[in-house]
Structure 1
Amino acid sequence: MTVSRLFSPITLGGITLQNRVVVSPMCQYRATDGSARDWHMVHLGQFALSNAGMVMIESTGVEREGRITPGCLGLYCDDTERALARVVSTFKSVGRMPVGIQLGHAGRKGSSHLPWEGGHGLLPGEGEWRTVSSSAIAYDDRHPVPASLDEAGMNRVETAFVDAARRAHRIGLDVVELHAAHGYLLHQFVTPLVNKRADHYGGSRENRLRFPLRVAASLRAAWPRDRILGVRINGPDGLPDGATIDDTIAFARGLKALGYDYVCISVGSLAGGQRFLASPGYLLPHAEAVRRATGMTVMGVGMIVDPFLAEEALATGQADMVAIARGFLEDPRWVWHAAERLGVKMPFPPEYRGADPAIWQGAPYRPLLVDGQRHKAEAS
C-alpha cells in the first residue's frame, strides 16, 4: 500500500492522532441559551465513525456575552456543562479518536442574529447584550459600538477562558483550541485596525499581542500537559494597514514559548462586508510561512477538499495537519474516500465492513467527487 503523510500518526501533548485529518470546528447555531441539544448529538455523531484523526466541537463562548449569536454553544455555567457532557459522553462511547473544543469570545461581533437571518446585530428587545472589544469601534453599521475593555473586564474574560477549560477537562475532552482569529475578541486586540488603545495593550506589536498572550498563558497553566492545547490565529488581515504575516509569526512564536502544541492558520472577517478570494489551499502559504519561521506544528485550512492536495501540503512541508469543515458537511466519510483514492488501507468498523471497497461488489459503481465533479469509482 501507499506510504501517505496524511495517514501517518502525529503526537501532540500526550496524545497520538492516528492520522492528520481534523474535523474542523463548525458553528451550528442550534444551542439553547448556550446549551447543546439533540442537534449537536446528531451533528457530531456522524463524525464518530469518520476515522478522522481528531474531531473538534464548534466555537464555544466562554461567557454568555461571548457568544456570536443566541444560538451559539457556551461553556460558562453548570447547565451548559451538563448539556455538553451528554454529547461528549455519547461521542466517546462510539468514536475512538480524540475530541476537543474551540473556546472563544466574539467581542464586538457578538449579539448578532443567526447567519440565515442576516447576521446583523440584535435590536433592542431581541435578547441583545452589550458587546466588548479592544476599542470602542463597531464591527459595521449594523452592529452597535462595543465597550472598550478595562482591566477589570480583561480579568473577567481571562478568568472565563480558564473556567471554560476546567469545565472541558471535567467532561472528558481531549483537546482545547483557543480561538484568536476570525475577527473575534482576541483578534480584535491583535489587529491595529480595531485596537486603537493608548495603554500598554495597544500601539506596538508587542503591546497588541500582550492580552491575547496573557489569556493564552493562563489557559496553558490550566490545561493538562498530557492533553492537547492549540490555537487558531489569523493570517494577514487582508485589509490596508491591518495585521500582517509578521504579526501572525510573532503571535505564533509567543504561543510556542508558552508550550502550545499546535497553531492553526486561518482567516476570517474582521470588518463587516469583508470577503476573501478563496480557492483550494489558498491559506496554505500562510501556514507554511509560520511553520518555517517558528518550527511550530501547524494545522492548515482553507478549501482543502481534495485528498491529493492535503497529501501534497503535508509532503511539501506547508503544514503538519489539515482541518476540513465544509468537506465533512458534504461527505462525513471524507477520510474513508481519501484513503481509498490515496491507496491507503484503512480498517473499517466491523459493523460497516460490508461497505469496504475491498469486498463490496457495488464499490466500482459509486459516484465519487473528483476535481469538483461526480465520477464513478474505478473498478479495482
Structure 2
Amino acid sequence: MAPEASKTSIPIPERAHTRRAARGRALAIRLGPGPAVIAAAALGCLLIGLLYLALQVRTIFSDQLKQEYAGLVLEAVERAESARSLVGVWQQLPDATENKTAGYRHARTELARRLTSLAALVNASPSAAPRVPAFLLAPDADLRDTDAALSAVSAWWRAQRDADSADVRVRIAHVAHTLIAAAALLFCMLITALGMYAKRNRLLAGQSHEFEWAALHDAMTGLPNRRKLFASLEEAATKPPALTVPCKIAVLYVDLDGFKQVNDSLGHRVGDEFLIAVSKRFRESVRKVDVVARIGGDEFAVLVREFSTNAELGEIARRLIACVVQTDKEMGVGRVRASIGIASFPDSVDDYQRLVAAADEAMYRVKRNGKNSYAFADQAR
C-alpha cells in the first residue's frame, strides 16, 4: 500500500479553475445588487411619487377653492346686475310721480348695497383681480360707470374660474398618470426583486450543492470519498429487501502495487494522470448502481450491491485488475498492478460496518502472497 505522501498530490489545473469559478460566483453574489437594494430603490421612488402626488392634490384643492370663490363673486355680480336692471326699469316709467321717485331711490339704494357686497368680495381676494372703485358704491353714482365695472368684474372672474377649472383637470390627469406610472414602476421593481431573489437562491443552492459534492467526493478523480462510501454502505445494508431473500453486498478493497515508484521517478503529475485514468476505467467496469470510491492516495474501494455468488465478485476483481494493467500499458509506466481484498455481507462478515476493514485485511494477504491478485475475507482468516 502506498504511503500517505501520495494523497497530497499536486492539484490538476481543472481543480484550480473550479475553485476560481466558485470564488467568482461567490463574489458576484456579494457585490451584485440584492433584493434589499431593489426594495430600497422602490421605496425611494414611492416616497418621491407620494410627495409629488401630495403637492398636486394640494394644488387641486387650492384651485377648487379658487373656483368656489370665483363662483361667489359671480353670484354677487349677478345680484348687482339684477339690482341695476331694476333701476333701469324705474327709469323707463313715463310718469314722474312720487311713487316712481320713491321706487327709483329704493332701487339705487339696493344697487349700492349689492355693489358694496361685491366690492368686499373682490377687494378681499388675494388674486390680482380688478377692484371695484369706491365712488361706484354711492347711491347717485353714474350708471354707465357701474355697468362698465360690473362687465369688467364679471369677465375677469369668469375667465379666472375657467382657467382654474382647466388647471384642475390637467392636474387630475397628472395625478392619474403618476399613479399609473408609480404602480407600473413598483410592479416592475417587485418582479425584478423577485427575479433577483430567485436567481440568488439558485446560485446559493448551486454553491451549497457544490460544497456538499466536494465534501463527499475526491477533488482530483471525482469519485466518492471514504465518507460517501460508508454512507452508501450503510444505505445498502439497511435497505429493506424487495423479496424475502436478504440483500447481499460486498466491498472490494483495491490497492495499487508499485504506484509510489511512479510518483518518485516520473513525478506527481504523471501519478495524478494515472489515478484519474484508472478511476475512469474502474467506474466503467462496474454497474451504475455500484459505488467506486477513492479512500486513500492509491487505495480504492468498490461497493457491490446485490450479487449472487462469489464467482461474480471474482469476475469484478479480475476486471479491476485488468483496468490497472490497461492503464499502465497505455501510459507506458510498466510497473503498476493491483491487490484486491473482497468481503461480503452477510456471508463472510456478519457486521456490515466491518466490511471495509475485512476487505483491507484480505488485501494485505494478497500483498504478502505476491500481489497482483485478489482474495476473499473468509479465506484470509
Say which structure, 1 or 2, has more relative contact order (CA 8 Å, 6+ apart).
Answer: 2
Structure label with greater radius of gyration? 2
Greater helix percent: which structure?
A: 2
Q: TM-score scaled to structure 1, two decimals? A: 0.23
Q: TM-score scaled to structure 2, two decimals? A: 0.23
